[in-house]
Amino acid sequence: MSETNKNIMTYYEVDVSQFSETAKLMKKMSASLTAQWAVEGKQFFEVYACYRTEEDFLIVKSLLPKDKPEFPSVSKIFLAASRFERQIYSFMGIKALGNSDLRPWIKFADWPADAWPLRKDFNSAQCLKRVKGEYAWIQAEGEGVNEIPVGPVHAGIIEPGHFRFQAVGETIINLEERLGYTHKGIEKRFESLGWLEGYKLAGRVSGDSTVAHSLTYCRALESMTDFTLPPRAAWLRAIFLERERIANHLGDIGAICSDAAFSIMLYQFMRLKEHFLRTNQTLFAHRFMMDCVVPGGVSVNISAEGAAQMTQELAALETEFERLVKIYDGNPSLEERVRDTGILSTKKALEIGVVGVVARASGLNLDSRSLYPFAPYDKLQVKVPLYTAGDVNSRVWVRIEEVRESMRLLRELLADLPDTTIKVPCPLPERNSTGFAVVEGWRGEVMYWLQATSAGTINRCMVRDPSAVNWLGLESAVIDNIVPDFPLCNKSFNASYAGHDL
Amino acid sequence: MIRTLWQILKTGIVTENVRGKAADDISVLGQKLSNIVKQRFRGSLTIRHVDAGSCNGCELEIHALNNPIYNIEQFGVRFTASPRFADMLLVTGPVTQNMEIALKRTYEATPTPKLVVAVGDCGCGCGIFSENYATIGSIDKVIPVDALIKGCPPTPAALLNGILNAIEG
């Protein structure tokens, strides 16, 4: 009944009638739901649920007859399923029975209702005709309740999304997100790409996480065959990943302070980030290291001088960084804004299944670098910072400590850089095989699941950005906060729109 | 407070043009930009950025223009929250089906005369994405475009250069 993949995941196939029973069992084992997706096979629809247990990931698969595309919902057992199931219905036309909210998600109400883009007979090149359709927003009634719609075009240089607040006075009583504005049909697009070019698209799922996404794609692809990565490539990949983490955390800490009207920190941190990005440009020929991770290894090497330059840069950065941390820590008016703002309790965090920085700020010890380490992380023993308050302040401190830890990791990686080749040919997967990988990006765990067709091409590429679950956390964290604190809460989550919308 | 003030003093002015050293291209570009903004926009060019479906890569670089090292405001260029005040729309793409209406509305809300600059390989063409059920494609398929800034993503220097070209032409 089960087959074990050589890496961190196990498959179970259950009858569809057992789909929600399995979920209950998982809940009892304190597992959490990380993703749900569906595939159209030749004879059946396949629906998958991926659970994270303490040891590994369990992927539960059920087959559905084509004439009866439905499965029992698990949204009452795992909150995150509510959105996954809406997404499955929107893109595959497979109904989760028992989920009372199957309003289109990412798909908009003005698409034809029977457009199921991830089905195989869907012509992806077509231009969709807009139809009349209204999205059924959640309504609130009562004396003094007012509604504030925001977006999709926001007041800053940020991505598009729509937020609808219901507030009494200034206090938020409900927030409903509607996302999907940047949906580009990425999962469908993967199906028309070759295995060895997919990494470029993965690197543009969410531009700020280009290393994490292309790395996860490559690892999923490499997991499908007997492939051994040259050690130097593994080391360099980790260097890219940690540099991406530092750059984004620097930007985030500054931006959070700026949203609390303490703008000196924004400019100071942006200055540090800019210098850091310029080093990327010098050493790796790209400020965000796009296309540096490729199937079979990496595309750029580092010279001894380059490594020395990086070590020097770290020393300078550390001094500057610690000085700014002291300012953050010693400012009561800033503390007043960030402390106890946007609380996501441990209980709620667990219920939703948030990941990454957000999870660690709410007391969940989740970091795939330490839970499911691949080389070179298995040697590094990543220290995972843990805060329990779940407020904006905790999310800042997790980032601060992660910058420190990433600096330490970079030093260790540089000190012990293996002297091998950086790229070897990556074999193509066999027919009908599947691959899976999880990488801790700066936001949290990025997850890819790949499946080959019977002809050996890409049949399905499932992408799960950490934002897919963390957006739900934001909806919960802003309740009872005042509307003017929303930008602060939002920035402290800093979920990706593009990574979520795909 | 003392720490904060000390940090400000110690950092000094990091903006490259002001120091006049090292950053050759930025200072030269910036000077040109500043002159044209003075001549044609009475010293103030106001930009509204619209993300019409980008991966967020271009946004990071547009952000960087506001960091103290490029400090685009020194050249009289300012980002605004409302299209009503904008002289120029800086649009990243590719335009998605779901952003088409919002992009058109933003365009219509911008007073004429206005300039539209398409940013990034995806805004100028379609980049790695294909025109499909969800992606309409380059910006000029939806609104008239005056200038292009290519790159994936374009660097801050390329953005400055592109904005300069757009108002020079």
Residue pLDDT, tens place only, A52-62: 988 889 999 99
Would you list the DSSP string of A474-496? Answer: HHHHTTTSBGGGHHHHHHHH---
pLDDT in tens, A334-393: 999 999 999 999 999 999 999 999 999 999 999 999 988 998 999 999 999 999 999 999
0.90 cut: is pTM over it?
Answer: yes
Distance (Å, rounded) from C-alpha A230 to C-alpha B60?
32
> Using the beta-carbon criterion (under 8 Å), do B64 and A270 form an inter-chain contact?
yes
Q: Which residue of B has its CA nearest to A287?
A: B155
The fraction of chain A above a pLDDT of 90, given in percent, is 88
Distance (Å, rounded) from C-alpha A442 to C-alpha A355?
11
pLDDT mean over A169-186 = 94
pLDDT in tens, B42-94: 889 999 999 999 999 999 999 999 999 999 998 899 999 999 999 999 999 89
CATH assignment at residue A92: 3.30.460.80
Residue A119 at interface with chain B, using a CB cutoff of 8 Å: no
In a domain, A206, yes or no: no
ipTM of the predicted assembly exceeds 0.95:
no
Residues A246 and A352 reside in one and the same domain = yes
Burial class (CB in 10 A: 0-12, 13-18, 19+), A426: buried
Of B8, B60, B96, the CB nearest to A182: B96
Query: What's the pLDDT at A2?
Result: 35
In a domain, A81, yes or no: yes
Residues A346 and A238 reside in one and the same domain = yes
Only one residue has tokens 């949290």, namely A444
Residues A277 and A372 reside in one and the same domain = yes
Residue A153 at interface with chain B, using a CB cutoff of 8 Å: yes
Only one residue has tokens 């084509």, namely A66
Residues A152 and A111 reside in one and the same domain = no
In order of A150, A173, A427, B126, the CA distances from A165 in angstroms are 8, 8, 50, 34
Only one residue has tokens 């050589």, namely A6
In a domain, A456, yes or no: no
What is the number of domains present in chain A? 3
In a domain, A192, yes or no: no
In a domain, A400, yes or no: yes
pLDDT band at B168 (very low <50, low <70, confident <90, very high): confident
Query: What's the pLDDT at B17?
Result: 57
Residues A419 and A502 reside in one and the same domain = no
From A124, A156, A175, the end of a domain falls on A124
Tell me the shortest Cα–Cα distance from A17 to chain B, in angstroms. Answer: 34
Distance (Å, rounded) from C-alpha A101 to C-alpha A115?
19
CATH assignment at residue A284: 1.10.645.10
In a domain, A480, yes or no: yes
pLDDT band at A401 (very low <50, low <70, confident <90, very high): very high
> Using the beta-carbon criterion (under 8 Å), do B66 and A270 form an inter-chain contact?
yes
Whether B15 shows a pLDDT value over 80: the answer reads no
pLDDT in tens, A26-40: 999 999 999 999 999
pLDDT band at B24 (very low <50, low <70, confident <90, very high): low
What is the number of domains present in chain B? 1
Residues A391 and A496 reside in one and the same domain = no
Residue in A119, A122, A154, A157 to test binding to B, most B beta-carbons within 10 Å: A157
pLDDT mean over A227-243 = 96
> Using the beta-carbon criterion (under 8 Å), do B54 and A324 form an inter-chain contact?
no
Query: What's the pLDDT at B1?
Result: 80
Query: What's the pLDDT at B18?
Result: 43
What residues contact A445, with CB distance under 8 A and at least 6 apart?
A: A34, A355, A356, A366, A368, A438, A439, A466
Residues of A in contact with B130 (CB under 8 A): 125, 185, 189, 192
Of B11, B60, B106, the CB nearest to A268: B11
Query: What's the pLDDT at A156?
Result: 86
Would you list the DSSP string of A326-343? Answer: HHHHT-HHHHHHHTTSS-
> Using the beta-carbon criterion (under 8 Å), do A271 and B69 form an inter-chain contact?
yes
> Using the beta-carbon criterion (under 8 Å), do B153 and A117 form an inter-chain contact?
no
Tell me which residue of A29, A50, A31 sits closest to A39, measured CA to CA.
A50
pLDDT mean over B19-39 = 74
Distance (Å, rounded) from C-alpha A239 to C-alpha A292?
11
> Using the beta-carbon criterion (under 8 Å), do A270 and B130 form an inter-chain contact?
no
Distance (Å, rounded) from C-alpha B135 to C-alpha B143?
15
> Using the beta-carbon criterion (under 8 Å), do A184 and B8 form an inter-chain contact?
no
Residues A412 and A475 reside in one and the same domain = no
Compare B5 and A24 and report the one with higher pLDDT.
A24
The fraction of chain B above a pLDDT of 70, given in percent, is 94
Residue A208 at interface with chain B, using a CB cutoff of 8 Å: yes
Among A24-28, A102-106, A116-120, B6-10, name the one with the lowest average pLDDT.
B6-10
Q: Which residue segment(s) compose the domain that B16 sits in?
A: 2-168
Residues A261 and A351 reside in one and the same domain = yes
Whether A468 shows a pLDDT value over 60: the answer reads yes
pLDDT mean over A126-134 = 89
Distance (Å, rounded) from C-alpha A42 to C-alpha A120?
9
In a domain, A431, yes or no: no
Residues of B in contact with A201 (CB under 8 A): 128-129
User: Token digits for A14?
Assistant: 């259950």
From A366, A401, A425, the end of a domain falls on A425
Residue A319 at interface with chain B, using a CB cutoff of 8 Å: no
pLDDT mean over B14-25 = 56
Residues of A in contact with B59 (CB under 8 A): 157-159, 207
Residues A238 and A303 reside in one and the same domain = yes
Q: Which residue segment(s) compose the domain that A287 sits in?
A: 228-425
Mean pLDDT across chain A: 93
User: Token digits for A361?
Assistant: 């700020």
Residues A105 and A252 reside in one and the same domain = no
- E-state strands within A312-392: none
Contact A430, A457 (CB under 8 A): no
Residues of A in contact with B131 (CB under 8 A): 125
> Using the beta-carbon criterion (under 8 Å), do A184 and B129 form an inter-chain contact?
yes
Residues A379 and A353 reside in one and the same domain = yes
Residues of B in contact with A335 (CB under 8 A): none
Residues of B in contact with A497 (CB under 8 A): 56
Residues A235 and A323 reside in one and the same domain = yes
CATH assignment at residue B48: 3.40.50.12280
In a domain, A25, yes or no: yes
Whether A183 shows a pLDDT value over 90: the answer reads yes
Distance (Å, rounded) from C-alpha B133 to C-alpha A106?
13
